[in-house]
Amino acid sequence: MTALEGQVALITGAARGQGRSHAVRLAGLGADIVALDLCAQIDSVPYGMSTPDDLEETARQVRHLGRRVVAAQADVRDANGLAKVVAEALGRLGRLDIVIANAGIAPVATTADPQQVWQDVIDVNLTGVWNTVRACAEPIIAGGRGGAIVITSSTAGLKGAYYGDVGVVAYSAAKHGLVGLMRGFARDFARHSIRVNTIHPTAVNTPMVVNESWGKFLQAAPEAMAAGNALPVEMLEPSDISDAVAFLVTDSGRWVTGVTLPIDAGFTML
């Protein structure tokens, strides 16, 4: 009997990076998986976004662990589309217990129109999470078994950052906004035994961070480069974040709710 046997977890941004790591970890703990991702480029984003092949690879890894998977292309900015995909997934997997609202973009050092960058970041990173939780809350409540929602914020959700880069400040604003969303949802959903928490990773080794535009940004803003971790590590691995997610969504976190959980090698305390 594994920790999440019989449960269903929905993960946005599941095609690669942290999302894939979470999908595979939760499948390893026994959950069936709904893996959602845009799998398309957004014009203002200067690094390559995920592809349908990436999402299929996540699905393959989940199936390899013997769990069922519903993988679908879905845009978290599209509330109606998201609701439809969630309904379809529920039809196939029967229930929903866990949501990892993980989809996000970080278009730094981009040449795109600043107003568009702001709007895209807020739409995906903040409104996208609102849409995700709205689409998922009702089925979890209806299940009557409680559940766990984890929202992926960032160290930039606890500590301000601008460095003259609209992508950075929009990212920071959206990630701060998620804390407000989480705190509201956590209070409201507690009576249904649904727990809601945010996680705040420092830089993680994923394509969102390890790319050419991130290097350009750090070159342009050496003070951002200097804002390092306290522990002697430059970058965490996606699996480090999945460890925290697993703690939060399994019974080990059954009384943890309304919490902002940094996994940040001491970044925010410096």
Q: How far is the CB of 55 from another protein (least distance, A)?
A: 27
Stretch that binds another protein, among 58-66, 107-115, 147-155, 262-270 (CB under 8 A): 262-270
Q: How far is the CB of 63 from another protein (least distance, A)?
A: 25
SS3 content of the chain, % helix, strand, coil (to 5): 50, 15, 35
Q: How far is the CB of 238 from another protein (least distance, A)?
A: 12
Cα distances (angstroms) measured from residue 252 to each of 4, 110, 150, 256: 11, 41, 14, 9
87/270 with CB nearer another protein:
270
Cα distances (angstroms) measured from residue 34 to each of 38, 70, 127, 212, 246: 13, 5, 20, 31, 16
Instruction: Kindly state the greatest CA–CA separation across the chain.
Output: 52
Instruction: Assess 228 for contact with another protein (CB under 8 A).
Output: no
Instruction: Assess 240 for contact with another protein (CB under 8 A).
Output: yes
Instruction: Assess 244 for contact with another protein (CB under 8 A).
Output: yes
Instruction: Assess 18 for contact with another protein (CB under 8 A).
Output: no
Query: Of 257, 264, 208, nearest to 236 (Cα)?
Result: 264
Site for another protein in 68-97 (CB under 8 A): none
Instruction: Assess 233 for contact with another protein (CB under 8 A).
Output: yes
Active-site residue flag, 163: no
Which amino acid does the sequence have at 107? P
Residues 6+ apart with CB under 8 A from 172: 154, 156, 157, 159, 160, 161, 162
Instruction: Assess 106 for contact with another protein (CB under 8 A).
Output: no
79/233 with CB nearer another protein:
233
Cα distances (angstroms) measured from residue 257 to each of 114, 218, 248: 36, 35, 9
Contacts with another protein, residue ranges (CB under 8 A): 183, 186-187, 190-191, 193, 195, 202, 229-233, 236, 240, 243-244, 246-247, 251-259, 261-266, 268-270
